[in-house]
Structure 1
């Protein structure tokens, strides 16, 4: 079936939307859609899923936007509030039914670079075997002003620093993602073939489903590349802090969910890689150990030191040899050994 834009290789933007009443949500969504209307390549469309928003008038508001946006916009309604991942899954299936082979994720408060559609279409056309491509991000505040790097929260500053690491390209890059990088791409910087998105749907976890799913993408053997020159405007308010952290119950609660959900995604990625013959169980155990060391350091820096220490304890119990090789001297001293079961 041809795509609604009339071009078989148009890019379908997948946008989850949840409206609980604050005026900034609708204002940000208008700016997000405006960033698509500024695309230099007109071959794009939008699939937006309303995640069972409780705010009155949301349906009429979204219908009005769909009628006014310059490109094709399809509005879907989730049967219940189940989180961004499940909302994306509904949009992915709708885009597939309409014949779209390329997707670009974009959250409802972020901004697409004007050349994103052109660059993504060109890269996937040049690399027929490519499954997944990511672009960089630029941190912007609620007014669209770029953040000063030294004023970012520790976790965001780490993400910004890791953007400067060598880009991941090719297949079987799930190990580097797990052990070296907090995240190579937020959802708004992910571009992929619809076949991969359908084969590896988002998990039902309400938070950190993006990293868990990224692990599973790469663990499946997907070919990855980087799209240069089209950073996504990633909105981080200066006032009010992270919405995800507030909704989850605070920093510590968020980090606990993060550790649990990301680990579940990585364990599934490892199991898939082992089943494909791309890794053995010993390698998988070492990767999980190194991930636990890394995430332990990350959540400690993010304000959850006890949780961070527990991740290190689990890493040491899981694979003492790998822990000894990759933990710092202080971590080895401060992390008690767990007696082996009899």
Structure 2
């Protein structure tokens, strides 16, 4: 391995509740790292206060089978994947690692990821964030057909075909036109960017909220083709995030709250840096509320979707009238009128 400054640090949260698939998929994830064509990597895994009593011994044994390649950290309380990533980022920074690759413990890294990431960041010293595409795989590693995915994941897959967001100041397009440009496991970045904008200590959609903050900082971003991340989506059991939130409506509500907080921070940073003003920021937020309202409605939370549209109308009626459909505008105006 090279000096720490050129090593790609894989940042990985881990949670073990005793279900066998947790450990088996972690083994597969680590195997994808061991098979990297470039050996300059190190794994920083944070155990997110797993309740299973055998977790500590299991992870110690796992690290022992990767001597000098894996650092296991322990969170004192279960605080979610974002907080676990933050702990791993700080450890990597303390060891002098300047490049990070986020990878969740059930996803799969392309064998050329480290090589390409190191190459791209070396070629462009101004580059701060580099994202790849994803390929949906099931619990057995078999590919998904896009049409068989849940609506939100189907939308994410469709949006991968859109022109890639690159360069600087792309927060508006992310807010108004994209559900998300990258899941955490497809994100690579300089350590100083991750330290400046840690993940919020929330359990759901912390990734999109943090991505908004990266973009709002003016960070230079780019897309890299040819090294897709395998994003594991089980065919049985559905989304673990949705299960933890309690139900679909609660998950989508937390999604709206947490993503909006990240976007509002991004807009505040952009205004502070002088690249936009409050008027445009309000218009971007309005258009985001229209988009997320449509998204959660299509995902099975129609009343929450209508709530987002009402907030968009109250925030900026002119922008709402310009970007809403005739049906959406009529519906909101009727509701507002009935309350006067």
| Coarse TM-score class (shorter-chain normalised) | over 0.9
Q: What residue is the counterpart of 2:208 in the other structure?
A: 211
Report the alpha carbon displacement of residue 71 of structure 1 after superposing the two structures with TM: 6.1
Residue 159 in structure 1 maps to residue 180 in structure 2: no
Aligned residue among 137, 141, 156 for 2:138: 141
- Separation in 2, partners of 1:44, 1:278: 37
Structure 1 length normalisation: TM-score? 0.96
Alignment partners' CA distance in 2, 1:7 and 1:296? 44
Q: Does the 8 Å CA contact 1:209/1:262 hold for their aligned counterparts? A: yes
Counterpart-to-counterpart distance in 1, 2:226 and 2:308? 36
Pairwise CA RMSD: 1.3
Which one of 330, 333, 341 corresponds to residue 330 of structure 2? 333
How far does residue 79 in structure 1 lie from its aligned partner after superposition? Answer: 1.0
* CA contact 2:14–2:45 (8 Å) conserved in 1: yes
1, 8, 12: which one aligns with 1:15: 12
Query: Does 2:45 correspond to 1:48?
Result: yes
Runs of 4+ in 1 over 4 A off after TM superposition: none
Q: 1:1-40 maps to which residues of 2 (within 5 A)?
A: 6=3, 8-40=5-37
Identify unmatched segments of 5+ residues in structure 1: none
C-alpha distance in 2, partners of 1:236/1:70? Answer: 30
Match of 1:276 among 270, 273, 292: 273
CA distance in 2, matches of 1:270, 1:8: 32
2:127 match: 130
The question of whether the paired residues in 2 share the 8 Å contact of 1:46 and 1:71 is answered with: no
The one of 296, 300, 305 aligned to 2:297: 300
Tell me the equivalent position of 1:224.
221
* Alpha-carbon offset, residue 70 of structure 1: 6.5
Distance in 1 separating the partners of 2:336 and 2:275: 30
Equivalent-residue separation in structure 1 for 2:275 and 2:3 (angstroms): 40
| 2:4–2:98 contact (8 Å) kept in structure 1 | no
1:62 aligns with 2:64: no
Secondary structure, aligned partner of 2:6: coil
Change over 3 Å in CA distance of 1:5–1:57 after alignment to 2? farther
Query: Is residue 74 from structure 1 mapped to residue 60 from structure 2 by the alignment?
Result: no
Equivalence for 1:168: 165
In 2, distance between residues paired with 1:7 and 1:199?
A: 20
Residues of 2 paired with 1:225 and 1:236: CA distance? 26
For 2:325 and 2:118, the matched residues in 1 are separated by 44
Aligned-partner SS, 1:8:
helix
Question: How far apart, CA to CA, are the structure 2 residues paired with 1:267 and 1:257?
Answer: 15
TM (norm. structure 2) is 0.97
- What is the CA-CA distance between 1:5 and the residue it aligns to? 5.2
Does residue 97 of the first structure (1) align with residue 94 of the second (2)? yes
In the aligned structure 2, how far is the partner of 1:277 from the partner of 1:52? 42
User: How far apart, in 1, do the equivalents of 2:89 and 2:170 lie?
Assistant: 24
Matches within 5 A, 1:190-205: 190-205=187-202
Is the contact made by 1:38 and 1:114 (CA closer than 8 Å) also made in structure 2? yes
Q: Which residue does 2:318 correspond to in 1? A: 321
Q: Is the 8 A contact 2:113 2:227 kept in 1?
A: yes
